[in-house]
Amino acid sequence: MLIELLFKRAELLASIKKMKIEEDSFRNINQSKKSEEGAKSTLQEMATSSKTLIHEDVLQENVGFGLRETRIINFKVDDIPKLYGNDRDKVDEWIYLVETEARTQGIIRSRLIDCVTKLPRGNALQMLRNMQKRDESITWEKFKNQLLATLKPADVQRGLRSELKSIKLTSNFEDNIMKFQTIANKIDKKDEFELVWFFLEALDPRVRAELESKNVETLNDAIRHAR
């Protein structure tokens, strides 16, 4: 009887030990899973945080076997007009606004070309694209010089026409006529009818009415009759 009790006690102890081992094993498995899930969560948070940071500050690009980090610059251009590359553009003024804003916002010249790509439209945008195709190291200075070489002549011509419009031949008649002729000679592809119209607009209304009745066709004729 005693021996039987001892055997049962031994079996009970063995069963309790087995249950404890299984319980410890189960606890270890749960802890391992929690640790793994925690690690995954941390990695995901790090990746999300890193992705957000990259989106705001850094663009990573594959180059060869490594990564290159390119700083994305938030250049505010709300106060700068678009540049279309036509004769209505004031290219000098546009360049001045871009460079002034760049200095104000702390943008260095070497990164400025990357900041202004959202501003060109139409012919100006096509010009930039063509330059980028020909030259991978396109810079702001190169683009600016190309704009000046291409668009500045039109800008100058528009300025000359504005000067003609501003002249009034109501006083200092001979001096203002000489000024008018000097500016007119600088205008490329000038139309005689356009020059006559500018001249008539500069005259006193009574003199203008008299010349209009004579149907003058050239600037020289208009000047001769006005005298």
What one-letter code names the amino acid at 214? K
When comparing pLDDT for 74 and 91, which is higher? 91
pLDDT of residue 212: 82
In our burial notation (b when 16+ CB lie closer than 10 A, e otherwise), range 156-185 reads ebeebbebbeebebeeeeeeebeebeebbe
Write out 84-96 in H/E/C secondary structure: CCCCCCCHHHHHH
When comparing pLDDT for 224 and 57, which is higher? 224
C-alpha 162/C-alpha 156 separation (Å) is: 10
- What pLDDT digit, counting tens, does each position of 98-140 carry? 999 989 988 888 888 888 888 999 888 888 888 888 877 889 9
Predicted TM-score (pTM) of the model is 0.44
| Residue partners of 55: CB distance under 8 A and separation at least 6 | none
pLDDT of residue 211: 83
Averaged confidence pLDDT in the chain: 74
| Residue partners of 81: CB distance under 8 A and separation at least 6 | 94, 97, 119
pLDDT of residue 63: 39
Asked whether the predicted pLDDT for residue 7 surpasses 60, the reply is no
For 202, the token pair is 């500069």
Q: What is the DSSP string of 15-41?
A: HHHHHHHHHHHHHHHHHHHHHHHHHHH
What is the maximal distance between C-alpha atoms in the chain?
A: 150
- What pLDDT digit, counting tens, does each position of 18-73 carry? 666 666 665 666 566 555 565 555 545 544 443 333 333 333 333 343 433 344 45
pLDDT of residue 60: 38
Compute the half-sphere exposure of residue 34: CA atoms within 13 Å on the CB side of its CA: 6
When comparing pLDDT for 92 and 58, which is higher? 92
Whether 105 and 75 have beta carbons less than 8 Å apart is answered as yes
pLDDT band at 141 (very low <50, low <70, confident <90, very high): very high
What one-letter code names the amino acid at 204? D
pLDDT of residue 158: 79
- Delimit the domains of the chain by residue range: 2-52, 91-157, 167-226
Plot region of 60 (φ>0 → left; ψ -120 to 50 → alpha; else → beta): beta
